[in-house]
Structure 1
């Protein structure tokens, strides 16, 4: 759907695929799975909001003014260096970040205090485990990847994952998931260091392939991406032309108004619409079996159903 001057920039749309929706400008969706964890506002510093697991081993930072908007890491204890780190840039939809934060919340809730936490387990020796949700969704291998790396791309060629299988240090970024055309405001990127547990990368990949659209205000959809997505209004535009009345609508309206006139003044037999409306009304008839025998009121009230109008 092209952007036009008649579009309301604040109107909400369903954007599909979600990995091209961009950032909504808020962090709500990404923090939703861990909203019950301790959190602290950091003021105007680089990290503006910090959420941690109750024991401090998982740390989720939101850097509201940086290129790398999200930095998420886990350590063996609250004061140790991070074992692994994941970052998401400022274009990445928060709904995809929620794939990782949701998996961390589940891992923490299921952690046995006498066993190693699942969010600190070793990376699988099979690189395919980390991106299996992508291949299961029909993403395919790109033969143009560098030697020692593997790249998988989406059917629309607008998203992919790059896995670096070469020897690396513990803090090297070995997996990158991306979406959107190259550019500062159009390319979403998520990166994971070499010791990130494979199931956490897979949870992020699963959020990439989730068919559910993301909700965005119209002005947040980048012009360079709008031709690549499907935009569906959340609400019909207020400027939509009203439906013209049908002949049946006109007749119902005329009868209703005639009855209203009759209720305000004396009944006259010359008003054919009033006579027809009264004849169709249900007035008890004297002497009929099962009906009370009494004289009809002078001007009994008549109720007709109000014509339904489609909007």
Structure 2
């Protein structure tokens, strides 16, 4: 039987993760759904799609497939019933904050659309220039690398994220733009895939969220071990202050003695004071020798002169 590992409290602490594209999923889609919180929500009990959020006219659909590899599926159509015009999918490793880049742009486009003529910027044709879809990445310092003819790949400065564009002739439903982040692997590679007719400005909005330098919050235990070596982690909460222990009786006595010594040291002991004290002592000693009686020093009681006085003095 293997020994039990000690409990690590830091394993469950919240941390800020940077760069965000390597943060992975936080286990929920809250950030991605936040921009469309006011749209109709449909909770589905059966089927792989667990939550479907639609625009009021149902032309835009945002599906959450909680148990699938492709966690998000977002589509847009000219009408509620016909086939979709374009599709974007995000896998289970993609941070929801990146999905929010697309959903935020869709909300903006839908707000400016005319609900009666079936138009909307979210249905616009893609630009003829591939650079329009990835301009935020280029402006963030991502660089193009050599690839096969007809494709374009742009990679982040750390080499851990990029976008691959396939410019070769393809059908309207072919997947030709892929945003990726993280090392290859089921639990480490995030992917966002867009079909050929996805409007360029929507891909750019997703890319901008990907390149955003703002860190995101994750519970440390949700980070893949390979990712911990590639990201910068900063604790969200400040370190817990140390609670001072209660003083012991010995501590109390030591403090009292130290305070007494301190007070005594503050009593003025000048040379004049010392001479006066010495003179008083000599005077009292001489008087005692002459009278044969104990000297009455200042600050003491005089000796009893009669039996009655001695009785009361006792």
TM superposition score category, shorter chain reference: 0.7 to 0.9
Does 2:91 match 1:89? Answer: yes
Three-state SS of the structure 1 residue aligned to 2:10 is coil
Report the alpha carbon displacement of residue 9 of structure 1 after superposing the two structures with TM: 2.2
Q: CA deviation at 1:147?
A: 1.5
Name the counterpart of 1:187.
189
Moved more, 13-22 or 227-236: 227-236
Residues in 2 aligned to 1:138 and 1:146: alpha-carbon distance in whole angstroms? 22
Match of 2:135 in 1: 132
SS in 2 for 1:211: coil
* Between structures 1 and 2, the one with greater helix share: 2
Aligned position for 1:280: none
Aligned residue for 2:207?
Answer: 205
Q: Report what 1:290 is aligned to.
A: none
1:8 positional shift: 2.2
Provide the C-alpha distance between the structure 2 equivalents of 1:118 and 1:106, rounded to a whole number of angstroms.
9
TM-score, normalised by the number of residues in structure 2:
0.75
Residues 1:101 and 1:198: Cα distance change in structure 2 (over 3 Å): same
Find the aligned partners of 1:168 and 1:154 in 2 and give their Cα distance: 27
1:8 maps onto 2:10 in alignment:
yes
String of CA shifts for 1:50-101, please: whole Å, max 9, x gaps.
0000000000000000000000000011111100000000000000000000
Q: Is 1:217 matched with 2:219? A: yes
Q: Which of residues 17, 35, 38 is equivalent to 2:37?
A: 35
The answer to whether residue 100 in structure 2 is matched with residue 98 in structure 1 is yes
SS at match of 2:11: coil
Aligned residue in 1 for 2:311:
none
Query: How far, CA to CA, are the matches of 2:243 and 2:183 in structure 1?
Result: 40
Pairwise CA RMSD: 2.7
In the alignment, the residues of structure 2 paired with residue 272 and residue 147 of structure 1 have an alpha-carbon distance, to the nearest angstrom, of 87
Give the corresponding residue for 2:306: none
Equivalent residue for 1:172, pick from 171, 174, 194: 174
Note the C-alpha offset of 1:236.
2.9
The Cα shift of 1:146 comes to 1.9
Contact 2:24/2:190, CA 8 A, preserved across alignment: yes
> 1: distance between equivalents of 2:152 and 2:216?
29
The CA deviation string for residues 234-286 of structure 1, in whole angstroms up to 9 with x for no partner, is 01344x65689xxxxx9xxx69xx9xxxxxxxxxxx9986xx9xxxxxxxxxx
Shift of 1:34: 0.2
* Rounded Cα–Cα distance in structure 2 between residues aligned with 1:199 and 1:25: 28
> Does the residue aligned with 2:125 lie in a helix, a strand or coil?
coil
Q: Encode CA deviations 1:91-125: one digit per residue, 9 max, x unaligned.
A: 00000000000000000011134662000000001
Match of 2:27 among 1, 25, 46: 25
Unaligned runs of 5+ in 2: 1-5, 246-250, 267-314
Matching residue within 48, 51, 54 for 2:53: 51
SS in 2 for 1:170: coil
- Aligned partner of 2:280 in structure 1 is none
Mark the runs of 5 or more structure 1 residues left unpaired by the alignment: 245-249, 259-269, 277-311
Give the 3 Å change call, closer, same or farther, for CA 186–243 of structure 1 in structure 2: farther
Q: Based on CA coordinates, which of the two structures has the bigger radius of gyration? A: 2
Taking a change above 3 Å as real, the CA distance of residues 114 and 79 of structure 1, as seen in their structure-2 partners, is closer
What is the TM-score normalised by the length of structure 1? 0.75
1:118 paired with 2:118, answer no
What is the aligned partner in structure 1 of residue 237 from structure 2? 235
* 1:7, distance to aligned residue in structure 2 (A): 5.0
CA distance in 2, matches of 1:114, 1:55: 10
> Counterpart of 1:9 in 2: which secondary structure?
helix
